[in-house]
Structure 1
Amino acid sequence: MIQRPTRPPRAPEAAARPAARLVAAPGGSSLRRALPALGWFTAVRAAGLLVLAAWCAAERRSPHQLLSARWDSLWYSDIARHGYHWPGYVATATTRGAGARSHLAFFPLLPWLERGIGALTGLAPADAGLAVSAVAALTAAWGIHTVAERSSGRRAAAVLVVLWAALPIGILLSMAYSEALFTALAAWALHGLLRGHWLRAGLLTALAGLTRVSAVALIAAVWVCAAAALWERRGGWPRILAGALLAPAGWLGYVLWTGGPVAYLRVQGAWGNGFDGGWAYGRYIWRQLSGSGLLTGAGVLVFVGLVLWAYWCCLRRRLPLALLVYTGVLTALALGAQAYFNSKPRLLLPAFPLLLPLALYLAGLRPARTTAVLALLALASAVYGAIWLLGPGPP
């Protein structure tokens, strides 16, 4: 009698491998698998807009104006209409890149899209910016789901998407800002790295480099992963090198156009957004703790502690190298920037892997409890977003 061969036992090293690396995405289209999460994402963001609209109606203010024509949205719209330098603009010094409150602090991809969409549809730049953010936010949510599904499973991926939508500053995803666009490019670039699609990762990183200065975190992820792949002598080294060389093209091209890194740093410094490794941030916390802002200082310390603890959890779970490098550099840039405290959560908005440990925990609860927690967070995000925009607003 012929016996059926048995499966060989698992090697000890395979058994000891982190669970996050053993999760395989199920078959079928990534978009079809992400649709339920995208539906919940849309519901959370729609709830935030509805609360904002109702609050604005009570105060006789315009939600459209708050979302499309305040703070950075105005600067992007001005660039879309007039370019970076136009007659009559006097806030920039004569030496390019060395002025105070210069438009050069804002990277060009969003205003380019605003101008192009406006030319095709007749929309005003601000309204085109809202359209870009709406599409980009959904694209980012899809990319976040696909990245998380590959490393942590479908349920955790869905929870992560809802958590990202329900962040206290999630209202930024519905504004004519560049955060949604940058996160969409970053998520799909990271997905390209996880799949070994080096040219796609390099191209998307180059586009991200035309969107925000924080694209250096994505460039670092591409370079470190490329170096690891070459060290391990994986195949396809021409594609790896091509992706690594393409990645910084957008960021480097724009920074050189402004006059070089030193000139761009002067532009950022004039906005109070330079990088000093956290020295100014530390002095701000100390002033709060040693003065009358004890509660504020303690709250800031709790915030910083939670961010660092979340990254430590990512390290302990041994998330993929691309996610760890991207999140680590982005966190260092956010906490080390001179920008005042209100801008820190905004700078960390694209750092979605920081939410993965919490998403994994919530995904392990009973569905009813997970749903209740996410619903409470979505409600809090909607209320906080309305208060934020009707009050101090985003920096």
Structure 2
Amino acid sequence: MALEAVARPGGRYIAVAVVAVPLLFVVGGLAIRYAAFASISAEPGFAAYAQALCRWDCAWYVDISEHGYERFPIPGQSNVGRWGFFPLYPMLVAAIRSVFPLPTILLASITSIACSYAACLVAWPLLEKNMRAYVLYCAFLLSGPFSFHFTTFLTEPLFVLLTSCVFLALKRSSYLTAGLLSALLSATRLVGVLVVFATVIQMFRDYRAKGGSALSFPRWVLGRPDLLVAILISPAGLFAYILFLYLTVGDGFAFLHVQRAFGRVAGNPLAFIWDGLSAVPTTGWLPTAPQWSALAALIGLALSAVLAVRRQYGAALFCACCIILPLITNLASMVRYVVGLAPLTILLTTLLSASKLTFLRLWVSSWAPAISRPSRGSGAILPWSSTPGPHRRAASLGRYTLAAVLAGAEIIILALALNPDVNADYRAYYIDRTTTCLNRDAVGSYTLGQTVSFRSDGAKKAAGMRVCGWSGPVADGTHSLGETSRLRLDIRPLRDGLTATLQMAAVIRPPQITQRVVISVNGVRVHAVTLSGKEPRTVSFVIPPAALAKAKTLDIAFDYLDGIPPSPAASNIYKRSIKLLSFRLDPVEPG
């Protein structure tokens, strides 16, 4: 791709420059980042540097590469599974590690740098072989202020590389190649599947350029089995992951449903942007993190509009969707989502590389109406207008068969995903969202008459009793999380009831100054209390024999009617209501 210039006079020197420029920025960027790391770290070495840069989602990808995906229930009594992180890049690193037995993060960092370097080479023809723009692009990707995202174990390096490859294939009207690359892209990140729209738009534009009409475009596509295969194979990576999750977890859409455990809730993108812009700094003038995220989203959408104005409709739609889709939930990771969109950075570096006069000319020409359009009566050769020979007829039949197999497989996988095979606890928490407390098999040991501290000093004993809906313990107790919390402990069969003594404190934030708590035992409501003030309060109540029956475990549920969310847009799984400080059970003496 980038080395095609070798064939032309003087092209050898251009090819050397194309290869050398990103290499220089690889070395320069690495030196800059390592110098910053070494200035504050007492542990030298590239391995320590790579580990220091492993932040945020990086740790998830390391775990996937080393351990794969969990089944359900998730080990460690967690409600956050790795299912939300797509598999292609961790699989690639795991495959390389099987050949080179190096630490995962070290190997992943080298692979990310290699992917980013390759992305620069692929960008050369996309930049119309503009050396000034190419230098800017390489500098941005490999040594710029956002180069961290492209040199550690995040999906951005592979995503940028594959995106660039897809658009290069579309530029050359290599639809099947674009489809295969799109399949890999859809297995890298969820939004990668959206690039299929860019493929269809490019098909439409090429067809119109040959004189075809808009109304006859569907018929043209149906008459081209190679185009059908290119379209249907584009989401193959996503569908393969859906099938994998269905077979291992029972829920093909687990990557979507697990977002609840990360606190992502659907909302108004405009409200999220406004909230981000409104998060002004309390001191100084530098924008806050929410402001940076909101500005990144606005700049990304503005650049997408510029792409549309320049008639790069497929790239514009792809980039806009890649920004709006995550923006529906919140602004988290928005900066890296935007800088990881290759069409936007290619556009930006192209504009920045132009002189003022050139930029004005490009801007005016982009708005100018087309001087001429292809005549609809130009006699374009349509696929059904000529009679194919026997070999072409056989090849066409084979492509139709492959398209039918792809379509059938995707329909079957979609049907499986729409009918998850999961237990009631999974469905209630992840799918139906009727509870904020994911029930698990945790059962703690307990001796009657023993007081268990739910502060930091009693962490080990209390850990076995906590089922869900708790955070901590910390110095002032174990905080409730969500709208329901549960404790479960093993008890010997009792004929009489029990007396429960709990020390609790309300979480208050004016105007909310009270917390109502309903306590149930083994599904039987046994007590209701209203807590007020910040000071701990001792709450005692009797658990009747009817609640105990012949149960071997005691399942205690705390339902909170006045939970306080940390912010108006926050998920209900983050609501705060009480702090539990201690717990005690005593047998009721026979009367």
Q: TM-score, normalised by structure 2?
A: 0.49
1:65-86 CA distance string (max 9 Å, x none):
123x443332222222222127
Deviation at 1:362, TM superposition (A): 3.2
Partner of 2:64: 79
- The reply on whether 1:362 has 2:359 as its aligned counterpart is no
Determine the structure 2 residue equivalent to 1:140. 119
Q: Say if 2:268 is the partner of 1:282.
A: no
- The two structures, once aligned, show a CA RMSD in angstroms of 3.5
Name the % identity.
23
Code of the aligned partner of 2:66: R
- SS of aligned partner of 1:149: coil
Q: CA deviation at 1:344?
A: 0.9
2:297/2:323 contact within 8 Å kept: no
What is the alpha-carbon distance in structure 2 between the residues aligned to residue 280 and residue 90 of structure 1?
37
2:100 to 105, 121, 130: 121
Mark the CA change 1:226 to 1:81 in structure 2 (over 3 Å): closer, same or farther.
same
Structure 1, gaps ≥5 residues long: 1-24, 94-99, 367-395
Flag the 1:43–1:268 CA change in 2: closer, same or farther, 3 A: farther
Q: Does the C-alpha gap of structure 1 residues 78 and 355 become closer, same or farther in structure 2, counting only changes over 3 Å?
A: closer
1:88 Cα deviation from its structure 2 partner: 9.8
**Structure 1 partner of 2:337:** 347
Is contact 1:160–1:356 with CA below 8 Å preserved after alignment? Answer: yes
Q: Residues 107 and 210 of structure 1 are in contact (CA less than 8 Å); yes or no, is this contact kept in structure 2? A: yes
SS at match of 1:266: helix
1:216: Cα distance to partner? 2.6
Structure 1, residues 165-190: CA drift from partner, whole Å, max 9, x if none?
45422112111222101111111011
Listed as ranges, the matches of 1:239-388 within 5 Å are 239-259=226-246, 262-273=253-264, 276=267, 278=269, 281-282=272-273, 284-285=275-276, 288=279, 295-296=287-288, 302-319=295-312, 321-340=313-332, 343-365=333-355
Q: Determine if the alignment matches structure 1 residue 188 to structure 2 residue 165.
A: yes
Q: Deviations over 1:294-349 (max 9, x none)?
A: 95366555444433332232222223x33223222223235444242xx1111112
8 A contact 1:185–1:207 mirrored in 2: yes
Partner of 2:49: 63
Contact 2:267–2:328, Cα closer than 8 Å, also in 1? yes
- 8 Å CA contact 1:209, 1:249 repeated in 2: yes
* Contact 2:122 2:168 survives alignment (8 Å): yes
Query: Residues 44, 272 of structure 1: CA spacing in aligned structure 2 closer, same or farther, 3 A cutoff?
Result: farther
Q: Is the 8 A contact 1:114 1:126 kept in 2?
A: no
Tell me, yes or no, if structure 1 residue 107 matches structure 2 residue 86.
Answer: yes
Paired AA for residue 308 in structure 2: L
Shift of 1:145: 2.0
Counterparts of 1:23-62 in structure 2, within 5 Å, are 28=7, 33=14, 35-59=16-40, 60-61=42-43, 62=48
- Seen in structure 2, the aligned counterparts of structure 1 residues 41 and 335 have a Cα distance that, compared at 3 Å, is farther
Q: Which amino acid aligns with 2:175?
A: W
In the alignment, the residues of structure 1 paired with residue 296 and residue 70 of structure 2 have an alpha-carbon distance, to the nearest angstrom, of 39
Q: Distance in 2 between matches of 1:57 and 1:116?
A: 31
> Which structure has the larger Rg over C-alpha atoms?
2
Secondary structure in structure 2 of the residue aligned to 1:284 = helix
Tell whether the 8 Å contact from 1:34 to 1:142 is kept in structure 2 after alignment. no
Q: Which has the higher contact order (CA 8 A, sep 6+)?
A: 1
Relative to structure 1, the CA distance from residue 299 to residue 136 in structure 2 (aligned partners, 3 Å threshold; closer, same or farther) is: closer
More strand by share: 2
Q: Which secondary structure state, in structure 2, belongs to the residue aligned with residue 258 of structure 1?
A: helix
Note if contact 1:199-1:242 (Cα within 8 Å) is conserved in structure 2: yes
Cα separation, partners in 2 of 1:289 and 1:77, compared to 1, 3 Å: closer
Cα deviations across residues 35-77 of structure 1 (Å, max 9, x unaligned)? Answer: 524433333343332223223222225312123x443332222
d(CA) in 1 for partners of 2:61 and 2:197?
Answer: 27
Amino acid paired to 1:44: F
- Native 8 Å contact 2:26 2:117 kept in 1: no
What amino acid is aligned across from residue 248 of structure 1 in structure 2?
P
Spell out, residue by residue over 1:253-277, the C-alpha distance to the aligned partner (whole angstroms, 9 max, x if none). Answer: 2134334565332212322456545
1:163 alignment counterpart = 140
Q: Distance in 2 between matches of 1:175 and 1:316?
A: 34
- Which is worse superposed, 208-217 or 330-339? 330-339
Amino acid at match of 1:344: M
CA contact (8 A) 1:38 1:138 kept: no
For 1:349, give the aligned amino acid.
V
Whole-angstrom distance in 2 between the partners of 1:155 and 1:55: 28
* In structure 2, distance between residues paired with 1:208 and 1:31: 32
Stretches of structure 2 that go unaligned for 5 or more consecutive residues are: 357-591
